């Protein structure tokens, strides 16, 4: 079974060829980070234009380096949501055209499921049930997975996503875009105890998150220092905020493990690349004998391989999409 996976939901044009669910024959990621950096964030109009320029060469390069042609493919899997509508449309229309021309099935993939399924690439033995902590640029979810495609959302953010909060704080600190990796880098030279930022835990048993107030606490600290004519130590601010975000994520994940009795925690999404988060979870989970699974950093942020592997499991289930498949920018997890 040979699956071509295509991802264009935000600012990465990516394609991958995956054979039998484990053999990643090629993986091409064309990132627009440099293009959007000067604006401090993704500009949707520019993103979709860039995708239309890159989708065909990126797909061709993925096929070429995998040494396959369209006639070797079993199906084409593509992200149809959530994401930026113009970006998603480029991927969906491109995949439709290619699959139709090649006479093979089209498989629409939920980008959030894709982030979680990225874990099956390097851990094909991953067993259900498991608890997933999805921490990305736009989402922060705790999800209990019972089987393929069968899951329950236990908690989610009520305002900002963890990645979004890191990006906004980074921008205010003048660290540039994307902010998460910058915060991680700068925090290495900072003291995580220097500033006491709040940890929003919400109601006693809640598995929801709230990062907006935590983000505002950093901005308020900066503004009042500015009014006093003081300058604050940026590495200390970055380290203290990163610590606060990680503390909340780890605390909520442990609470969800207690509530569900889950024996495995799966980490996913761009923020899953964060080394403090990985190290802290690794320590806490090994103390509790809970298996901890997470993707290599390249497979945490947006990539085509995660779409290909999700497509592979849909293919096995005979779960294909109609030619009327459309982009759904606000697609969630049911
Ligand atoms: P979504 O998947 O929710 O639609 P997205 O696709 O934009 O959003 P991802 O690509 O999953 O998000 O992740 C990007 C986010 O991950 C950004 O907020 C970025 O700052 C964050 N991120 C990436 N690397 C790191 C890191 N090492 N530490 C912390 N955050 C990181
Ligand atoms: Mg991106
Ligand atoms: Fe993503």
Residue range 7-25: mean pLDDT, rounded: 97
167 is an annotated ligand-binding site residue: yes
Residue whose tokens read 């709040």: 198
Residue 302 annotated as binding site: yes
- Predicted ipTM of the assembly: 0.99
Regarding the beta carbon of 302 and ligand 1, being less than 6 Å apart is answered: yes
- Contact between residue 241 and residue 183 where contact means Cβ atoms under 8 Å apart: yes
Q: Which residues pair with 292 in a beta bridge?
A: 265
Using a 10 angstrom Cβ sphere, with 0-12 exposed, 13-18 middle and 19 or more buried, the burial of residue 286 is: exposed
Any atom of ligand 1 within 6 Å of the Cβ of 303 = no
| Nearest ligand atom owner, CA of 14 | 2
pLDDT on residue 33? 87
Instruction: Provide the percentage of residues in the chain whose pLDDT is more than 70.
Output: 100
Q: pLDDT category, 41, cuts 50, 70, 90?
A: confident
Average pLDDT over residues 45-55: 96
Nearest CA to ligand 1 atom 15: 137
Of the listed ranges 31-40, 207-216, 232-241, 274-283, the least confidently predicted one is 31-40
Pairwise pLDDT comparison (229 vs 38), residue with the higher score = 229
Pick the atom of ligand 1 nearest to 11's CA: 7
Give the model confidence (pLDDT) of 97-151 as tens digits. Answer: 999 999 999 999 999 999 999 999 999 999 999 999 999 999 999 999 999 999 9
Q: Is 135 annotated as a binding residue?
A: yes
pLDDT at residue 223, rounded to an integer? 95
Residue 114 is predicted with a pLDDT of 98
CA of 317 to the centre of ligand 1 (A): 30
Give pLDDT, residue 206: 96
**Atom of ligand 1 at shortest distance to CA of 139?**
3
- Judge if pTM exceeds 0.90: yes
Is the model's pLDDT at 179 over the cut of 80? yes
Q: What is the mean pLDDT of residues 221-240?
A: 96
Residue 211, C-beta contacts closer than 8 angstroms, at least 6 positions apart:
140, 157, 159, 160, 161, 162, 164, 165, 200, 245, 248
Q: ∠ at Cα 36 (32, 37), nearest 5°?
A: 110
Q: Mean pLDDT across the chain, nearest whole number? A: 97
User: Which residue's CA lies nearest to atom 30 of ligand 1?
Assistant: 180
pLDDT for res 40: 85
pLDDT, residue 332, reads: 94
Burial of 304 (0-12, 13-18, 19+ CB in 10 A): buried
How far the first Cα of the chain sits from its last, in Å, is 28
């Amino acid at each position: 079974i040979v699956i071509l996976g295509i991802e264009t939901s935000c600012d990465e044009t990516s394609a991958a060829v995956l054979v039998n669910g484990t053999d990643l024959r090629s993986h091409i990621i064309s990132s627009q980070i440099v293009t959007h950096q000067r604006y401090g964030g993704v500009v949707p109009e520019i993103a979709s234009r860039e995708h239309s320029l890159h989708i065909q060469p990126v797909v061709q390069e993925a096929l070429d380096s995998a040494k396959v042609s369209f006639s070797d493919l079993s199906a084409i899997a593509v992200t149809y949501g959530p994401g930026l509508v113009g970006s998603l449309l480029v991927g969906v229309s491109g995949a439709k055209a290619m699959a139709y021309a090649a006479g093979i099935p089209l498989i629409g993939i939920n980008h959030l499921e894709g982030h979680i399924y990225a874990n099956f690439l390097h851990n094909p033995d991953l067993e259900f049930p498991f608890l997933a902590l999805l921490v990305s640029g736009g989402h922060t979810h705790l999800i209990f997975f019972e089987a393929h495609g069968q899951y329950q959302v236990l908690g989610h953010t009520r305002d900002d996503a963890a990645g979004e909060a890191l990006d906004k704080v980074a921008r205010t600190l003048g660290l540039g875009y994307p902010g998460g990796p910058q915060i991680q880098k700068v925090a290495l030279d900072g003291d995580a105890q220097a500033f006491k930022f709040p940890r929003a835990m919400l109601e006693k048993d809640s598995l929801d998150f709230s990062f907006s107030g935590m983000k505002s606490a950093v901005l308020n600290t900066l503004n009042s220092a500015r009014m006093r004519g003081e300058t604050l130590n940026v590495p200390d601010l970055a380290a203290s905020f990163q610590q606060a975000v990680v503390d909340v994520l780890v605390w909520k994940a442990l609470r969800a493990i207690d509530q569900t009795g889950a024996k495995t925690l799966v980490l996913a999404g761009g923020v899953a690349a964060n080394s403090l988060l990985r190290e802290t979870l690794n320590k806490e989970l090994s103390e509790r004998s809970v298996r901890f699974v997470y993707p290599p950093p390249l497979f945490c942020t947006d990539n085509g391989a995660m779409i290909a592997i999700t497509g592979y499991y849909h293919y096995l289930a005979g779960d294909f999409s109609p030619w009327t498949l459309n982009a759904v920018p606000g697609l969630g997890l049911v």
